[in-house]
Amino acid sequence: MPKQVDHRERRELIARALWRIVDQQGWTRATMREVAREAGVSLGQLQHYFSSRGEMLVFAMEFASQQTSARIDRGLAALDQPPHPRDVLRLVLTEMLPLRPDARATSRMNAAYVLEAMHDPTLQRQVGIGLRDGRAMVGRLIRQALEDGQIPPDRDPDIETDLILALTGFATLIELDVVEPQAALAAIHQHLDRLFRADA
């Protein structure tokens, strides 16, 4: 009997090939033909799963997001339970920095995704939804910490949420050798230590 093809597995194989090309050569080099070659499939096979670069990019980003979430979940499971919101934010922010090969590939994919979205209204909506969901998650953590007395009561939750989001910009600064990874980590740690009360 012919071997059954696992379509999800094949799509993930293609997504990983796209990650490698974007990581090593950049988004402009990630043509359908080049990705097919990197994935070890024919162009026709790749087009069976993805009809365009944009469609391939969307799936690859969704898959990367799932992998990042899984790493964060493993990190959260290793923290004290329930985890302190400061530690949750530290873990999430650190995971978004290009400090390991997988996180670096995700960071570069994300840059390509945002760049592409600037000229594609459909992608722009999708990127916006993801970013707003992330902001809402951080906002909930901040507001809960305020209610629990872990953050001083005079802090504005919206401003603190946006300052946390601004720290994700360290990914680009690290990639371009503007800031050393250890300096970015030190800034994140210090900001969180200043935000949360030491005795809470």
Domains of the chain as residue ranges with CATH: 53-195 (1.10.357.10)
Say what the pLDDT of residue 5 is.
Answer: 61
| Residue with more model confidence, 3 or 190 | 190
Say what the pLDDT of residue 54 is.
Answer: 87
Give pLDDT tens digits for 47-84.
Answer: 999 999 889 999 999 998 888 889 999 999 998 889 99
Give pLDDT tens digits for 163-188.
Answer: 999 999 999 999 999 999 999 999 99
Say what the pLDDT of residue 2 is.
Answer: 44
| Residue with more model confidence, 75 or 4 | 75
Gap between the Cα atoms of 104 and 96, Å rounded: 9
- Cα-based torsion angle of the residue sequence 153, 155, 157, 159 in order, rounded to the nearest 10 degrees: 180
Say what the pLDDT of residue 6 is.
Answer: 80
| Residue with more model confidence, 156 or 117 | 156
What lies within 8 Å, CB to CB, of 97 at 6+ separation is 103, 107, 170, 171, 174, 181, 184, 185
Calculate the average pLDDT of the chain. 92
Tell how far CA 176 is from the center of its chain: 18
Say what the pLDDT of residue 1 is.
Answer: 43
Give pLDDT tens digits for 86-143.
Answer: 999 999 999 999 999 888 988 999 898 898 889 888 889 988 998 999 999 999 999 9
Mean pLDDT value of segment 43-48: 95
Say what the pLDDT of residue 198 is.
Answer: 82
What lies within 8 Å, CB to CB, of 28 at 6+ separation is none
Alpha helices in 40-120 (DSSP H): 43-49, 53-77, 85-95, 101-117
Instruction: Please name the amino acid found at residue 133.
Output: D
Say what the pLDDT of residue 144 is.
Answer: 96
